[in-house]
Amino acid sequence: MVKVLQSKKEMKRVKTHIKGLDENMEGGIPQGHVVLISGTSGSMKSSVVFNVLYNEALTGKTSLYISLEQSYNSLLNHFVNMEYDLSKINLYILSDISKIDESIAEIKAAKKGTVIITDVGAIRKQIKGMKVSPGGDWLNVIKNIVQKIKKGCGCDLFALDSLSAMYILSNFGKEVRSRLFYIFEFLRDLEITSFLISEMPLTKTKYSEYEVEDFLSDGIIVLQLTERYRKVTREISVVKMRATSCNTDIFTLEFKAGQFQALYGGKTPLV
Ligand SMILES: Nc1ncnc2c1ncn2[C@@H]1O[C@H](COP(=O)(O)OP(=O)(O)OP(=O)(O)O)[C@@H](O)[C@H]1O
Ligand SMILES: [Mg+2]
């Protein structure tokens, strides 16, 4: 049973590692929260999430990044271009899910914090092996991977890139709302701090596909590109974060010298 905290001091938080943002949300995201990262195309959703996983790996944590939109190769090229030094962490590419037990043994033996990355190609191999219908039960395969890794080598953080891609791959039919409910329950029960990336339409009318994700999640962080005349600015805001007193203002998001920063009027906001 999940323990009820006795005092505020007991609340453990995971930093977003965005300078200026953590300071405005009591230090970070409460551990175990399921957070929706919603943003328009190209708003740096994948980068912001990887930035958390990378920096947490530097402190010895283990995480799993499932990429359904891009191959791990394309994603890693992007991170290398952003000048993340991947040699500082144990970056584990899970390219064959049928060999997950051997992978877990290797990850357990690693001396550094780990980011496990897997993609649609690696999962498809597994689904083919299971002979599931063409729509494929991607959700169950994903759940099994998360569960196995959590049990086998411990997993502090999980990222799904993206929920939107999972909807395309899976055929949830009429059960979509109840199945979504159980995904959130499943992640909460595992006590893994999770980031579910969600594509926001360009009209910015909703944060997620079915809109139930908004209230099912413990937190929503929104990324967007805002046009002012001909200038386009990257922006970030925390729309909600349960169990956290946070500043919900919209900050400018910058990535400079390997560091994300949330700025207010060109400066890191004062707390
Ligand atoms: N140093 C950098 N190196 C590479 N890309 C950068 C850098 N700084 C900013 N970017 C921008 O990051 C954007 C892509 O980031 P990312 O893939 O994280 O966004 P996304 O919201 O996940 O995109 P998508 O909607 O395609 O999934 C590109 O539009 C690119 O211009
Ligand atoms: Mg992306």
Taking only the tens place, the pLDDT of each residue in 181-238 is 999 999 999 999 999 999 998 888 999 999 999 999 999 999 999 999 999 999 999 9
Per-residue pLDDT of the chain (271 residues; tens, 9 = 90+): 667 889 988 999 999 999 999 999 999 999 999 999 999 999 999 999 999 999 999 999 999 999 999 999 999 999 999 999 999 999 999 998 888 999 999 999 999 999 999 998 888 776 665 554 555 678 888 999 999 999 999 999 999 999 999 998 887 888 889 999 999 999 999 999 999 999 998 888 999 999 999 999 999 999 999 999 999 999 999 999 999 999 999 999 999 999 999 998 666 666 5
- The whole domain housing 150 covers 16-263
How confident is the model at residue 202, as a pLDDT? 87
How many domains does the chain fold into?
Answer: 1
At residue 151, φ and ψ (nearest 5 deg) are -70, -40
Residue 8 lies in a domain: no
Tokens at 53, concatenated: 């996983």
Q: Contact 242/234 with Cβ under 8 angstroms?
A: no
The finding on whether 40 has its CB within 6 A of some atom of ligand 1 is no
Burial class (CB in 10 A: 0-12, 13-18, 19+), 210: middle
CA distance 145 to 254: 33
CA distance 61 to 63: 7
Cis peptide leading into residue 162 (ω within 30°): yes
Residue 5 lies in a domain: no
Strand, helix or coil at 58? Answer: helix
Burial class (CB in 10 A: 0-12, 13-18, 19+), 102: exposed
Q: What is the CATH number of the domain that holds 197?
A: 3.40.50.300
How confident is the model at residue 93, as a pLDDT? 97
How confident is the model at residue 127, as a pLDDT? 64
Nearest ligand for residue 42 CA: 1
Residue nearest to atom 15 of ligand 1 (CA): 44
Nearest ligand for residue 79 CA: 1
The finding on whether 43 has its CB within 6 A of some atom of ligand 1 is yes
At residue 161, φ and ψ (nearest 5 deg) are -120, 90
Q: Contact 30/218 with Cβ under 8 angstroms?
A: yes
Residue 269 lies in a domain: no
How confident is the model at residue 136, as a pLDDT? 61
Q: Contact 134/128 with Cβ under 8 angstroms?
A: no
